[in-house]
Amino acid sequence: MEIIRAKHMGFCFGVAGAIDICQKVINDKNNYNRNIYILGMLVHNEHVVKKLEEQGFKTVKEEEILQGKDNLNKNDIVIIRAHGTSEKIFEILKEKQVEIYDATCVFVTHIRKTLVEMEKKGYDILFIGDKNHPEVKGIISFGKNVTVCNDLEELLKVEIDKNKKYCLLTQTTLNKKKLEKIKSYLENNFQNVKILDKICGATQVRQEAVEELAKKVDMLIVIGGKTSSNTKKLYDISSNFNPNTYLIQDENDLNIEWFRGMNKIGITAGASTPEEIVIKIENQIRGIH
Ligand code: F3S
């Protein structure tokens, strides 16, 4: 039995950067007696979030802030998660005079800025992504006229006016193949849509690596949080090429039955999955055989 890791997997620099900000804030002596909150899940991995809570971080949800049901006070610290948040939340936090540390990944911030600039230039925005994902909700909140579609099927239902100009933007973790289908539909039918591919580099290399690996192993284990968009995409891509693909959060989700007759085991992990979880899983798999 052989365990083969994907060439690119695990923490991306956006997640690593957000965790780094948290550590700097909590280790700063000036903050010892202050309440330190993280907005929602800092990253989409329960193990990471649990560890931060054990260090003393509290969580405040966007809904609580929007409904005035939070316990935030002046001078508390709020760290904005890697996927960012909405314009409204930034406004309320400023009004409350809390100290904001913005751990939004630079890729997400860049899309947000592009959206605002393109609207100023007169473009209507078409956005491809999951409208329920915090990243998408946050980004589009900075726009005025944004149409969000999850995939080509949804986009086909959108009436695109050939006399207007449009800009197409994407969620950072979008599946590259999904975008290619959308691109070819638009390029073949509309000359008035400017396509700006915003899939982040970390997502892209992880998706390519899992595809390559899924084709050459007997089974593939994808490790990551249940709410992690990029983890789900890795699972979908691998499943397309290898029916023996399993998505797990940690070693407790492993099922001994999966491994019967399997020799080459591929492993990948979402961008917010810590290395220590991956190692625990690898050790457990070695124990099975
Ligand atoms: Fe940023 Fe891409 Fe990671 S958007 S948080 S580098 S998955």
Q: Which domains does the chain have, with CATH numbers?
A: 2-11+202-286 (3.40.1010.20), 13-104 (3.40.50.11270), 107-199 (3.40.1010.20)
Predicted pLDDT of residue 3: 97
Averaged pLDDT score across all residues of the chain: 95
Q: Is the CB of 228 under 6 A from ligand 1?
A: no
Ligand 1 atom at shortest distance from the alpha carbon of 105: 1
Per-residue pLDDT tens digits for 24-62: 999 999 999 999 999 999 998 999 999 999 999 999 999
Predicted pLDDT of residue 101: 97
Q: Which two tokens stand for residue 233?
A: 């995409």
How many A from CA of 173 to the centre of ligand 1? 8
CA separation for the pair 195, 193 (Å, rounded): 6
Ligand 1 atom at shortest distance from the alpha carbon of 82: 5
Predicted pLDDT of residue 110: 97
Q: Is residue 158 within 8 Å of 126, Cβ to Cβ?
A: yes
Q: Is the CB of 247 under 6 A from ligand 1?
A: no
Predicted pLDDT of residue 287: 87
Q: Is the CB of 42 under 6 A from ligand 1?
A: no
Predicted pLDDT of residue 226: 85
Count the neighbouring beta carbons within 10 Å of the beta carbon of residue 15: 27
Give, for 142, the enclosing helix (H) or strand (E).
Answer: none
Q: Is residue 99 within 8 Å of 77, Cβ to Cβ?
A: yes
Catalytic (active site) residue 154: no
Per-residue pLDDT tens digits for 219-255: 999 999 988 999 999 999 999 999 999 999 999 999 9
Predicted pLDDT of residue 288: 74
- Say which of 46, 54, 117, 135 is annotated catalytic: 135
CA separation for the pair 268, 5 (Å, rounded): 6
Ligand 1 atom at shortest distance from the alpha carbon of 13: 6
Residue nearest atom 6 of ligand 1, based on CA coordinates: 14
> How far is the CA of 89 from the CAs of 106, 137, 145, in angstroms?
18, 11, 19
Exposure string of 138-175, with b = 16+ CB inside 10 Å and e = fewer, is bbbbbbeebbbbbbbeebeeeebeeeeebbbbbbbbbb
Q: Which two tokens stand for residue 252?
A: 């407790």
Q: Which residues of the chain have pLDDT under 50?
A: none
How many A from CA of 225 to the centre of ligand 1? 15
CA separation for the pair 204, 206 (Å, rounded): 5
CA separation for the pair 289, 270 (Å, rounded): 25
Predicted pLDDT of residue 145: 85
How many A from CA of 174 to the centre of ligand 1? 11
User: Any alpha helices (H) in the chain, and if so which ranges?
Assistant: 13-27, 46-55, 62-66, 87-95, 106-120, 134-140, 152-156, 176-189, 201-214, 229-241, 275-288
How many A from CA of 234 to the centre of ligand 1? 14
Ligand 1 atom at shortest distance from the alpha carbon of 107: 4
